Structure formats: C-alpha cells, structure tokens
Structure 1
C-alpha cells in the first residue's frame, strides 16, 4: 500500500517531465532551443523535438513571408521638390540563430523597428539621388529594385532576407499641391493660348488663300465671259451682215422694227418728229394707185 502511494506521484511527475520535454515544430515556423539564454539547438524541420525540462526553453519564430508597412516619409529629390512616400516590404527570417543574436528577446517587434530604420534610410538615399519626375513616373521599378537590394544587404546581419519593396504612394505634400496645381493650370492655359494663336494664324492663311482663289476664279470667269460675249457679237454681226447682203429691204425692215420696240416702251412714250420722217416709213399706210 505504501509502495502504491509512492508510485503514483512518481509516475505523475515522470509524465509531466516527459510531456514538458517534447515540443512540436510546424511547417510554418522554426524553433530555437535555449539553455540559460544561449542557443544550443536549431529546429527548422517540422515534427517532434525534445529539450531538457526546466533547463532548456524553446523560442519559435514565424517561417512565412512577413510584411512591414513603413510610415509616411518625406523626401527631397535632386530638384528640391518634396514628396511624401509610403512604402511596404516583404521579408522572411532565414537564419533564426543570427536573428536571435541580433534582436535578442525583442523578437519580431525589435526586428521590424530595425528594418524600418533600414528601409527609411535606403529610401531616402535612393530617391534623393533622382529627380521627382523619375519617382512619379509609372516606370519606377528600377528604383524599387535598388531600394530592395540596398536594404537586403543591410538586413543580412539580422538574419533576415528582404524579398520585395514597393512604393505604395508617392504624392506631393498637401501644402504643395495647390501651388503645383496652379503651375500646371498656368502651363495648360499657356499651351491653350499658343494653340489658339496658331489656329487663328492658320485660319487667316486659309481665308487669305480662299479670297485670292475667289478673285482669281471671278477674274477668269469674267475674262472667259468677255471672250464668249465678243465671239457671240462677232457671230451676230456676221449673221446680220450676211442677211443684209442677201436682202437689204428685209434688213432695213428688221432694224426699223427693233427701233420701234426700243423707242415705244410703256404707255407714256412721247416723240416729236416730222410727219414725213423716214423713221415712220414702215408705219405709213400705202396709198392705193
């Protein structure tokens, strides 16, 4: 009975000790086994692992790709045009032993603080060496790659690999937006004025050319009309001359009728002529013999 009483507590303690000596490492994490604060083992493969209870402790770190958003940062490019930059990075803990030595018990929080300082310094260095137009253009992948490479080189001492760096936003500070918009508006107005002036000049040239063409066409039409009129008059005179030569009496009669038609127009025509004037020869009644 006394032995049973002793065995149960011993068995219970043995189970507790056995359970506390076993830990699990998943595929999402890596683990360090510490003994009195010093790293004695690194567990990177998933599965069961063992440690000495009460003497050793286990510290686990995330093995996935982590993200870090940096606060807004004001930079001054080469053209002294201040910009507000908002960036983020993707990183991964690749050397947990070096990571532990670099950040100590601070863990991820301390690492992110140091990574933030590295990213901000590298962003200032890279973006401060180019003009603002290069930063604001859509083709800025080379700048992001340069920031990533520089930050990655400095982050290796932390046991961290920086995978990617992206610029989420690159804007002008709010106090500069109004002035910038004013300059843009003035520039567009100047361009519009230049375009209107060029349009008016082109329109004036078109109108002048059109007026010249009109004058030339009218002059040519009048010249051709005079030629046609002269040719027609010549043909008419030739016809009259031929008719006069063939029958002089009929020609005189025709000319008299034309004179009567042109002279006796309207209802109030008045003519003062001698009764025996030759003008009325064809209006006189022949006296029967």
Structure 2
C-alpha cells in the first residue's frame, strides 16, 4: 500500500473516531448532564441527538423513569413505647439532574442510601407520635401523606429527587413479642373453650336431669294408673264372683274344695299331708253330693 493511501486511511479512521466521540443520543427514558473537565455546563440535556467536544466534554446518563426503592425493615417505637417492625418502599424520580449529580455524583446506590436514611427518620418520627391502633389502621393514610410531604421537600432540596409515594408494606410485632402474643391468645382461646365446655356440660346435666325427672314422673303416673286399673278390675272381678257365688253357695264351696285339692295334690314335691279322714277338707271326697 502506498504511503499516501495509508495516510488517507489513517485520517479517515481518526475522523470516524472523533465523530463517534462527538455524537451522543439521549433517549426519552434518560436524564443527562454535560460536563467539561468535571464541571457541569448543561444540567439537563434534552432527549435527542447532540454533539460535544471529544475528550473535553463528558456525558453522564441516568435513569429518568419512576424507580422503586425497598426500605430495610426497621424497628420503631409507638407513642405507648411498643416496638414494631416496619417494612416500607419508596417511589421516586430524578427531578433536578444537576442537583442530583452534585449531591450523589450520579451514584444511584448512594442516592438510595441517603433517601432511605431520610425515610427511616421520618417514619420513626411519625410512628413515635401515634399509638399502635392509629399506625395499624386508624391513621395509616394520614401518616403516609405526612411522610411523603416532609420527605419530598427534603429530597428535592438535598438530592434533586421527587418522592412520589411512600407505602408501608408490613407492620408487625417483633418475633419474640409475637410469640408471647400468640401464646397469650392461645391461652385465652383455651380458657374460653373450657368455659364453653363447662357451660355445655352444665346444660347437658340439666337437660339429662330434667329428662330423668320426667321419665320418673311418667313411670310413676303409669304405675299409679295401672294399679288403679288393676284395683278396679279386681273389685269388678270380686263383685262378679260374689254375685255368682251368692246364687249357689253350695257350688261355691264345692269349687273352692276342688281348687284346694288341685293345689294340694297337683304339686311335684314329696311333701306329706296328715289330716283326719273326717276332716272338712275331705267332705266332698267322702260324700260327693255334699253333706
């Protein structure tokens, strides 16, 4: 290759390198600052195609979208000195690019640490001014609004950041306190269960005793009615017997003697009965027609 051609090729390569270093593009989702030897010359470069002086100007790009930062779970004390573990998150966006770069050197992690410190301090102040019931349910929205209002102003002044939202994801008691609370709740439920069982047993005993009493009353009434009915039947039978036997006393005496003979001689035992032959017991055996 000729020296002239080589020189042209080198010049073209240098022009290409200088040109590539002179052109930069800022997208719609980015924010940027233009520096000259470390000094800000444009604190908010608009999106689009731009030119710069190579090796003199430097462009620093940052994410201009809405970002989410998870706060570390922290322990806060309420107004009544009850400790709570709070887990929150922050929604933020770069508002003043120049101030953001000056405060954090464009380091997103550094900005996050500073922002988390401010959030934790503000949450600690808000939780310390409220009771447990208020921070859990009663004034949650008001608490979040005050945190956002206070934090947004501080973040804009110090970091050039716009804090759009701060939300508490979880509020719970510490593990050692939660265990004691659960144990106390378990004990309370067991006590209520024992009371309900005792009350149920008492009601069951009352129902069972009332049922037994009613059974006894029913049996007694039935036995009384049976005895009255049996007495009435015996009386009626006695009247019938008396009426029938009064018509023929001799037949009644003969019938009674036959009944006595059957009872005496019809048994299976070997008992011995000693009577005089002329006893009244044998009067119908000795004289079948009667005396």
* Stretches of structure 2 lacking an aligned partner (at least 5 in a row): none
Conserved? CA contact 2:83–2:174, under 8 Å = yes
Aligned to 2:51: 50
Residue 39 of structure 2 is aligned to residue 37 of structure 1: yes
Aligned to 2:172: 170
- Offset at residue 90 of structure 1 (A): 4.3
Instruction: Tell me the TM-score normalized by structure 1.
Output: 0.75
Query: What value does the CA root-mean-square deviation take over the aligned residues?
Result: 3.8
SS of structure 1 residue aligned to 2:269:
coil
- Measure the CA separation in 1 of the matches of 2:134 and 2:287: 110
Alignment counterpart, residue 149 of structure 1, candidates 142, 145, 148 = 145
Aligned to 1:244: 245
SS of structure 2 residue aligned to 1:211:
helix
- Offset at residue 240 of structure 1 (A): 1.7
Aligned to 1:117: 117
Conserved? CA contact 1:75–1:82, under 8 Å = yes
Shifted more, 208-217 versus 32-41: the winner is 32-41
- Offset at residue 105 of structure 1 (A): 1.0
The one-character-per-residue Cα deviations of 1:225-251 (angstroms, maximum 9, x if unpaired) are: 112212221332233234324554443
- Measure the CA separation in 1 of the matches of 2:230 and 2:98: 111
Conserved? CA contact 1:21–1:52, under 8 Å = yes
Shifted more, 90-99 versus 108-117: the winner is 90-99
Instruction: Tell me the TM-score normalized by structure 2.
Output: 0.74
Residue 281 of structure 2 is aligned to residue 279 of structure 1: yes
- Offset at residue 219 of structure 1 (A): 1.3
- Offset at residue 267 of structure 1 (A): 1.4
Distance 1:115 1:261, change over 3 A: farther
Alignment of 1:1-289 (within 5 A): 12-35=13-36, 37-38=39-40, 40=42, 42-43=44-45, 45=47, 47-85=48-86, 87-97=87-97, 100=100, 103-128=103-128, 129-131=130-132, 135=136, 143=140, 145-146=141-142, 148-153=144-149, 154-156=151-153, 157=156, 158-163=160-165, 165-168=167-170, 170-174=172-176, 176=177, 179-262=180-263, 265-284=267-286, 286=288
- Measure the CA separation in 2 of the matches of 1:151 and 1:53: 45
SS of structure 2 residue aligned to 1:38:
strand
SS of structure 2 residue aligned to 1:48:
strand
- Offset at residue 31 of structure 1 (A): 2.2
